[in-house]
Amino acid sequence: MNASAPVNEATRARVLAVARELRFAPNGSARALSRRRTGALGVVLPDLYGEFFSELLRGLDQEAQRADHSLLVSSSHHDARGVGFAVRAMRGRVDGLVVMAPEVDPAGLVDVLPGGVPTVLLNAAGVQAEIHTISVDNAGGALAMTRHLLALGHRRIGFIAGAASNADAREREHGFGAALSEADLPHDQTLVVRGDFTEASGWRGAKTFVALADPPTVLFAANDAMAVGALSALRDSQLDVPREMAVVGFDDIPVAAFLNPPLTSVHVGIAELGAHAAALLLRDLAERPPPGTPPRHELLPTQLAIRGSCGSPGGTLIPSLTHRTARHGHPSTSTT
């Protein structure tokens, strides 16, 4: 049935007929045990909420499927212990591992990973160990976006940060700060409020900024979910976006281009990130690189997706930047 050896055609037909009759399907565990190959990739995530993880999974699944692999998913792992537990539970059940744990110290993370299984760490830059890493250029993206806002004339930028415990959030915040320094602008702490990457926290963050005596002219949310919340809050406060207060986000989740107004964001190829991670694993699996082969450490570049939600504070929009929309006349393809 596996076509692993030459067989008489008649015999094969007979076997196949009986197999069908018995509704036979091979037992995956037995198969995996014997051939030392499971046909599955393990995915360990901190969470499963929102379009970011949805897209990541989609990319992973897409690539895994090309190699007839499925995904063993385990989420809600916020500390090293939890990740270690999840990863151990996957031992012998997966051929490779994709781990994303932005709240866990990378050093401690490496300790809990089992050897012998090809592993890719997502967004765990700075890991020394012999493990593949693929990371989004968080700092670079935030830097570029902030520069863009400054170029538009914004001087008071309200930053809605993510949780301090989240490495991605910290890097984005650093990128933002770097751009301010670059422009010799002060790091005004009243212009940073901390959220937690949820829409609700973005909503609260925006409300905080609106209540300020001298409110910012633009809000930079450290992810799109919070930007969505911010847009909603500004609408509730009857403020026009971008005229009275602009909003930009980070991630460029699929819905961003369809928001009202369309959300300017730092485009991250989320699905590509997942697809790339899976491809890396599958390549290792297929080619069995000799021991000592150095791991890959890749940095996924970001791009600015300029849409309608950012404006210049004086109301003077710069068409070439703010209206750089659809490649094919359609919002869904409007990232640049």
Distances (CA, A) of 320 to 140, 151, 311, 323: 22, 13, 12, 6
Query: What is the distance of C-alpha 247 from the center of its chain?
Result: 20
Q: How far is the CB of 19 from DNA (least distance, A)?
A: 10
Out of 67, 73, 285, 321, the only residue in the binding site for a copy of itself (CB under 8 A) is 73
Asked if 285 touches a copy of itself (CB under 8 A), the answer is no
Q: Does 318 bind a copy of itself (CB under 8 A)?
A: no
Please, which residues bridge with residue 193 across strands?
Answer: 160
* Binds 213: which of a copy of itself, DNA, none (CB < 5-8 Å by kind): none
Buried b (16+ CB within 10 A) or exposed e, 179-196: bbeeeebeeeeebbbbbb
Q: Is 323 in the site for a copy of itself (CB under 8 A)?
A: no
In sign, the C-alpha dihedral spanning 254, 255, 256, 257 is positive
Rounded to whole angstroms, how far apart are CA atoms 259 and 249? Answer: 12
CB 8, min distance to DNA, A: 3
Cα dihedral 191, 159, 301, 98, rounded to 10, equals: 120
Number of separate helices (H) and strands (E) present in the chain: 11, 12
Which one of residues 19, 76, 299, 314 is an interface residue with a copy of itself (CB under 8 A)?
76
Binding of a copy of itself at residue 199 (CB under 8 A)? yes
- With CB cut-offs between 5 and 8 Å by kind, which of DNA, a copy of itself, none does residue 93 bind? a copy of itself
Contacts with 169 (C-beta within 8 Å, 6 or more apart), sequence order: 102, 161, 162, 163, 197, 222, 223
Contacts with DNA, residue ranges (CB under 7 A): 1-2, 4-8, 10-11, 24-27, 30-31, 33-36, 92
- Name the residue nearer to DNA (CB basis): 117 or 318: 117
Residue 11 CA to chain centroid, in angstroms? 51
Question: Which one of the spans 34-42, 100-108, 144-152, 156-164 is the region binding a copy of itself (CB under 8 A)?
Answer: 34-42
What secondary structure letter does DSSP report for 89?
H
Residue 1, contacted partner among DNA, a copy of itself, none, CB below 5-8 A by kind? DNA
Sole residue written with tokens 């930028």? 157
Q: Does 33 bind a copy of itself (CB under 8 A)?
A: yes
Of residues 179 and 228, the one with the C-beta less far from a copy of itself: 228
State the minimum distance, in angstroms, from the CB of residue 79 to DNA: 25
Q: Which of 12, 93, 323, 327 binds a copy of itself (CB under 8 A)?
A: 93
331-to-33, 220, 229, 256, 327 alpha-carbon distances in Å: 48, 21, 20, 9, 8
Binding site for a copy of itself (CB under 8 A): 23, 25-33, 38-40, 48-51, 53-54, 57-58, 61-62, 65, 68, 70-76, 86, 88-93, 114-115, 198-200, 203, 228-229, 231-232, 235-236, 254-255, 257-262, 330-332
